[in-house]
Structure 1
Amino acid sequence: MTLNARLLTGLLAVTFTGLAIMGLVSALVLHGYLMHRVDEQLQGTRDRAISRLLRPGLPEQGAAPPQFVVLAIGPTGRVRVLSGDQPSPAQAVAEVEKLGQDELSNRARTLEPFSLPGLRAVARPWRNGIVVVASPLNEIHSAVRNLVLSEIATGALLLAVLLVLGRRLIGRGLLPLDRMAATAHDITAGGDLRARMPDPGPRTEAARLAAAINVMLDRIEQAFWARSRSEARVREFAADASHELRTPLTTIQGYAELYRHGALGPGELPDAMRRIEDEASRMNKLVTDLLELARLDREASLHPAPTDLVPLARDAIADATAADPDRPVTLDAPDSLIATVDEPRIRQVLANLLANVRTHTPPGTPATIRLAPGLIEVTDKGPGMPPDDAARAFERFHRTDQNSPGAGLGLPIVAAIAAAHGGRADLLSTPSKGTTVRITYAHPSHSG
């Protein structure tokens, strides 16, 4: 059953129940009111009948009004009719005889109205007998029946009108949901994640639902885009890695074939072996970097411990100075800076950043390492980077200079180490004004 049908069925059921309860209550109230009025009339007619019997009036005056039956029951139980033929006294006589003398005497002593089948009656002692005044309940039953029938007809008409109007109103109210269902079907069938739920109007439940679904669709679209981008990067990474590995392997294979065919003379063999060794070292470094990135993708590879970063920076400056004595490298840091980090990884970060400065800036370009709580920065005064290269600096295998000796994995390793420490790596570069690589980490630090 559809939601429209369920709502309409529920509306009709509630309305029918309400009408039934109202009809029942009104019928009971009307029946009680009419019975109370009949009881009052019976008591008044009973007293009037006794008065007429004690002081008979004119011949045309009867013992009671025409709608009542007056009976006199003698000591022997004989029933005598004191009223006229209308209404017919036969039923009243029969019911009184069935009631019995003793029960009738008890009713007469209480002076309260009582019910007989199809009749309402009241009794009172009179001389040696009992006077009973009874009234048929046909009119009361007819009035109540007419009320019930009119309520049934009115209720049926109301339910029919409610069925027509309710179906239209509920259909209009559920129209936004139908549109949302159609949009969801289109998204499922066509796969167009750019489709959005139509706006059903402000400040409605359907509007809130549409807004929530649109937010969900935005996130799903972003997730699919991120997955697609990730898959593209994986394919690009595999292609780049294959290319980087193919180059040294091709060189090694070429020298091996030359040697096998005797094309290398005695004087050329040492140079060929040197080239083979260089390419093998390059391939070994590339594989090592790839393994390093794979390990950094697992947070479990870190072993953080409280570490003073200042000695690590001084060691990195010493190593850089030994490799390039003409390049000044300074340290901007407090006397001590304790941070919970993985010491070998931080050493690797500093070494990679200073190696980048040495590789991509002219000789003699100064560099500075700055340490602060939660922050590591390496700044150089070199030529800087174009905005496009700066935006892609942390992409794996991306190189600004294709002739540079590296494989384009130094900065990606730095970014992976920063991420593994709960932080991030950012590169700020302006052409002709230098470059700053900023590393943040989330572990608490204390400076001394």
Structure 2
Amino acid sequence: MTLRRRLVLSIVAIVVALSTVIGAGSIVALFSIQRSAIDEQLSGATNRAQRSVERQGTNGPGPEIGRPSGQAAGTLTVYFLDGNVAVGSVLDENGDIDQVAPSAARALYGVTFHGAAHTVDLGTDLGRYRVTAVSLGSAVLVVGLPMAPVYESVWKLFGVVLVVTALALLAATGVAAVVVRRSLRPLERVAETASSVARMPLERSDALDGVRVPDTDPRTEVGRVGTAFNRMLGHIGNAMQARERSEQKVRQFVADASHELRTPLASVRGYAELTRRMGADLPQDVVYAMSRIESESLRMTSMVEDLLLLARLDEGREVQFADVDLTGLVLDAVNDAHAASPDHVIAVDVPEEPVVVPGDAARLHQVVVNLVTNARTHTPEGTRITVGLAPVADGVDLTVRDDGQGIDPEFLPKLFERFARADSSRSRSAGSTGLGLAIVDAVVQAHGGRVAVASVPGDTVFTVHLPATRPADAGARAASGDEVTV
């Protein structure tokens, strides 16, 4: 249940409870006041009836006992003599005397005569009466007044209370809904801001938009929440800026180091090659050592070039857009792979018409080569590798599929990270730098595309989606980020 609904229901419940208490108290108070008034009237009626009996003397009262001067309509008078009803009458609205039914008279016989009033249900047409009894020697005089007017007033008040409570309930519901909605509007805006921040990839600190000033009033609870939220966003922004500066320094260091390392590596490779070619006068083990130095310098040069490429891609450089024939790139890469790995079965699945996308031909060629090389390197001999192109609605899908042993599911989330290496059981050759797939991911994102992988034993497929149009910012990385599917 939402906070708004809980608050509205709480307010409505309070209104109902207060209305119930006030209504019940009013009804009880009205009943008590009117009963007290009836008791006062009953005391006067009893005195008048008693004086009327005393005036009639020893012969005993007659029917006129119920009609002394000043008695109100509905007054009940019953005279018991030796336990028997001598006279019993009720004064009607016209001042006439009606006889009391025997059953009603019997109901009055047990009334005590200590002076207190009692409420007795006489049944028949009389209903409830407020009665009192006095002793006159061996006789008992009972006088009563009807309670019907009291109950009628109480029921009318009960109806009024119900109507007023219903109206108050409706009014309270409407007012509470409006007041709570207006009161919670700042909180909703704060929650909206928090949700929008939560949906952001938070790749840049300038993307953090805090709570607006009206919702940061420290005198209110919501304002304090908004202020704390803005303070938290400030800390996050500072941390992200520090991280950006640190990453920028690392990227700059990698770029500078890679650039500076190329010259000494070229010298090492050149001198090693020169020494190896003059190896006629050198011992065989020295010639072998020189060949190993040359080989390792070549591998280190390749790694340095990859690092330099990644650093430049991080800075938004190294991508020159033009129309690229992907079909030709795929065929060239497959032909090269046939020569490099004749023990693998490498096939192509491309449309008859050339597939053209905007991009950098050299970089896209590197994507295809790296994916095919990755499939060759990490699958045993005889594995079938299929490179395919499939035009889709918003671009082109390039797929590299193999029927090898698959990729460890635990390794999939970090597959495109730099220097990431799969378990040694998948690799059949050493020397991998762990940068090939990172370059694929960086180049594809620089083209505004995305790369995904799905792998089960016997079927591993890398899918590169390239958009049909050039991205608005050619150097920007795709907002969608990496997508890894198991």
Scaled to the shorter chain, the TM-score interval is 0.5 to 0.7
Which residue in the other structure is 1:84 paired with? Answer: 91
Number of the residue aligned with 2:408: none
The 3 A distance-change label for structure 1 pair 214 and 157 is same
Structure 1 equivalent of residue 27 of structure 2: 27
Residues 1:160 and 2:176 are matched in the alignment: no
Q: Confirm or deny that 1:174 pairs with 2:184.
A: yes
- 1:73 aligned partner, one-letter code: F
CA distance in 2, matches of 1:28, 1:199: 54
Structure 1 residues 199-236: Cα deviation after superposition (integer angstroms, max 9, x where no partner): 33632222211111111111122223333333333444
Q: Distance in 2 between matches of 1:157 and 1:89?
A: 46
Tell me how far apart the structure 1 counterparts of residues 40 and 101 of structure 2 sit (CA, whole Å). 19
2:103 aligned with 1:98, yes or no? no
Code of the residue aligned with 2:71 in structure 1: it is A
The 1:207–1:91 alpha-carbon spacing in structure 2 relative to 1, beyond 3 Å, is farther
The answer on whether the counterparts of 2:211 and 2:230 sit within 8 Å (CA) in structure 1 is: yes
Q: Note the residue ranges of structure 1 that are not aligned, 5 or more in a row.
A: 267-272, 281-448
Structure-1 separation of matches of 2:253 and 2:100: 108
1:200 pairs with 200, 210, 214, which one? 214
After TM superposition, the runs of 4+ consecutive aligned structure 1 residues lying more than 6 A away are: 87-92, 263-266
Residue aligning to 1:150? 160
With over 3 angstroms needed to count, the CA separation of the structure-2 counterparts of 1:237 and 1:197, relative to structure 1, is: same
**What do the CA deviations read for 1:384-421 (whole angstroms, capped 9, x no partner)?**
xxxxxxxxxxxxxxxxxxxxxxxxxxxxxxxxxxxxxx
Q: 1:155 to 1:89 in 2, by over 3 A?
A: farther
Equivalent position of 1:226 in the other structure: 242
> Contact conserved, 1:74 with 1:130, CA < 8 A, in 2?
yes
- Give the structure-1-normalised TM-score: 0.52
Deviation at 1:154, TM superposition (A): 1.6
One-letter code aligned to 2:80? I
Q: How does 1:238-387 map to 2 (within 5 A)?
A: 238-242=254-258, 248-262=264-278
The answer for the alignment partner of 1:378 in structure 2 is none
Aligned residues: 265
Shift of 1:182: 2.5
Q: Distance in 2 between matches of 1:245 and 1:4?
A: 65
The yes-or-no answer on 1:74 pairing with 2:81 is yes
Q: Structure 1 124/77 Cα, relative in aligned 2: closer, same or farther at 3 Å?
A: same
Preserved contact between residue 90 and residue 100 of structure 2 (Cα < 8 Å): no
Q: Distance in 2 between matches of 1:222 and 1:169?
A: 38
Structure 1 residues 190 and 41: alpha-carbon distance in aligned structure 2, compared to 1, 3 A threshold: same
- 3-state SS, counterpart of residue 12 of structure 2: helix
TM-score with structure 2 length normalisation?
0.48
How many angstroms does 1:89 deviate by? 6.6
Deviation by residue 1:309-367 (Cα, 9 ceiling, x = unmatched): xxxxxxxxxxxxxxxxxxxxxxxxxxxxxxxxxxxxxxxxxxxxxxxxxxxxxxxxxxx
Q: Secondary structure, in 3 states, of the residue corresponding to 2:119?
A: strand
Match of 1:351 in 2: none
Quick check: 2:131–2:145 contact (8 Å CA) kept in 1? yes
State how far apart, in whole Å, the 1-side matches of 2:2 and 2:70 are. Answer: 69
Deviations 1:135-170 (Å, cap 9, x if unpaired)?
A: 221110111111121122122222222222222222
Q: Which has the larger share of helix?
A: 1
Structure 1 residues 157 and 92: alpha-carbon distance in aligned structure 2, compared to 1, 3 A threshold: farther
Is it true that 1:47 corresponds to 2:63 in the alignment?
Answer: no
Per-residue deviation, 1:31: 0.8
Alpha-carbon offset, residue 253 of structure 1: 2.9
Identity rate, percent: 30
| Partner residue, 1:112 | 116
Conserved 8 A contact 2:193-2:209: yes
The alignment status of 1:2 with 2:40, answered yes or no, reads no
Between the aligned partners of 1:133 and 1:78, the Cα distance in structure 2 is 13
Residues in 2 aligned to 1:132 and 1:63: alpha-carbon distance in whole angstroms? 17
